[in-house]
Amino acid sequence: MADGPLLEVQDLRLAYRTSRGLVQAVDGVGFDLRRNEALVALGESGCGKSSLAKALLRVLPRNVERVSGQVRLDGEDLLALPKERLRAEVRWVRIALVMQASMNALNPVVRVGEQVAEPLRTHRGWSRVHAMEQAAKTFELVGVATDFLQRYPFELSGGMRQRVVLAMALVTEPEVVILDEPTSALDVLTQAGIMNVLKRIKTELGTSFLLITHDVATSSEIADRVALMYAGQLVELSSAAEFFSVPAHPYARMLMASVPRLREGERPQHIPGQPPSLLTPPSGCRFAARCPERFERCAEDPPAFALSERRRVRCWLYEREGEA
């Protein structure tokens, strides 16, 4: 199996039209994802992380002004691919997307087994019986008893519905699964159960994950690498080991200090101020207004400095250490 990146994103930009002007929700984001790797896109609400997920598969709302950049899957640019080919060869076949709150978007009048089998019938042309067999296998994989295949969504609890949605994404055995806030509406025990399922799938099937979340603790449950986003930009890309023990960007450090911890007596510290408006973003570093370490240089927009082969930080503090 090739060791090169499976998915490569370069200079991805996405802007929305609004009544008050253009909102640059994703602004020059770039990263790569290898096989069997889990990358977490972490950020507060409004940082552009969900728009990023949608842009990758071009599942875009109508008010999108433009998308630019490159999203290469095994070298082929998905943004340049004709729509029919994207639908027939990529979506749900090689990359599956589980959108936020999709557990509430199951069809209420169709048995969940049929809904899970549907991608196989539409994308692969499998027979109903064959597809249902595969759906049953996937149910076992995500920890749902196979007699649930015959149930309707309203008969299942939230945690079970989330597992069904996961099964739906996994049934075609895609290489990449993108999950947008898969556990945010769930209880603590259910949440831990879902994360256990994701870990198992990663080991057993070798799937690559892109997990989008605002929750630092949850992100550490699966992350091999972390991409921290702030105001539409990627400000730090690090391995999980680096990010959770020695975060580099000042925002990353403050974010880690703001996380409430169960096993430490220290009270979390909040980050003063608010993220800038994406309608009129500041010209220099976007975090400068809230940053305790800002200096003259921060009036200019910092490039991403490479601290190591796969670690990048968008902050002037690292100008000497890293290469732009």
Partner 1 sequence: MTQAVANVQSNDPLLAVEGLRTWFELRQWGFLRVGWVRAVDGVSFELVRGEAVAFVGESGCGKSSLARTLLALHRPTAGSVVFEGRDMGALEKASLKDYRARVGYVQQDPYGALPPFMNVRRLLAEPLIVHGVTDPAERERRIRAVLEEVRLTPPEELLYKFPHMLSGGQQQRIVIARALILAPHMVIADEPVSMLDASVRVEILSLLRRIQQERELTLAFITHDLATVRHFAERIFVMYAGRIVEQARVDDLLDQPQHPYTQALLTAIADPDADNARRARQVPGGEPPSLLNPPAGCRFHPRCPRVMPGRCDVDEPPLFEPRPGQRSACWLHA
Which CB atom, from 159 or from 174, has the smaller least distance to partner 1? 159
Which CB atom, from 54 or from 202, has the smaller least distance to partner 1? 202
Q: Could you tell me the end-to-end alpha-carbon distance of the chain, in angstroms, rounded to an integer?
A: 31
Which CB atom, from 206 or from 260, has the smaller least distance to partner 1? 260
- What value, to the nearest 5°, has the Cα angle with vertex 188 and ends 185 and 191? 65
Task: Look up tokens 């296998």; give the residue.
Answer: 137
Which CB atom, from 28 or from 182, has the smaller least distance to partner 1? 182
Q: Provide the 10 A C-beta neighbour count for residue 9.
A: 24
Rounded Cα distance, 190 and 174, in Å: 24
CB of 191 to partner 1, least distance (A): 7
User: CA nearest 139: which of 110, 111, 116?
Assistant: 116
CA distances from 173 to 63, 124, 126, 322 (A): 32, 12, 14, 39
Which CB atom, from 44 or from 173, has the smaller least distance to partner 1? 44
Render the burial of 253-277: b for 16+ CB within 10 Å, e for the rest: ebbbeeeeeeeeeeeeeebeeebbe
Which CB atom, from 104 or from 122, has the smaller least distance to partner 1? 104
CB of 77 to partner 1, least distance (A): 30
What SS3 state is found at 17? strand
Which CB atom, from 45 or from 320, has the smaller least distance to partner 1? 45
CB of 188 to partner 1, least distance (A): 5
CB of 92 to partner 1, least distance (A): 26
CB of 88 to partner 1, least distance (A): 34
DSSP one-letter string for 216-272: HHHHTTT-SEEEEEETTEEEEEEEHHHHHHS--SHHHHHHHHHS--SS--SPP----
CB of 186 to partner 1, least distance (A): 9
CB of 229 to partner 1, least distance (A): 14
Which CB atom, from 270 or from 320, has the smaller least distance to partner 1? 270
Torsion angle of C-alpha atoms 114, 120, 122, 126, degrees rounded to 10: -100
What SS3 state is found at 177? strand
CB of 86 to partner 1, least distance (A): 31
Torsion angle of C-alpha atoms 239, 244, 248, 251, degrees rounded to 10: 120
Return residues touching partner 1 (CB under 8 A). Answer: 38, 44-45, 143, 157, 159-160, 187-193, 195-196, 199-200, 214, 216-224, 239-241, 243-245, 256, 258-264, 267-271, 274
Which CB atom, from 91 or from 202, has the smaller least distance to partner 1? 202
Q: Are 194 and 200 in contact (CB under 8 A)?
A: no
CB of 84 to partner 1, least distance (A): 37
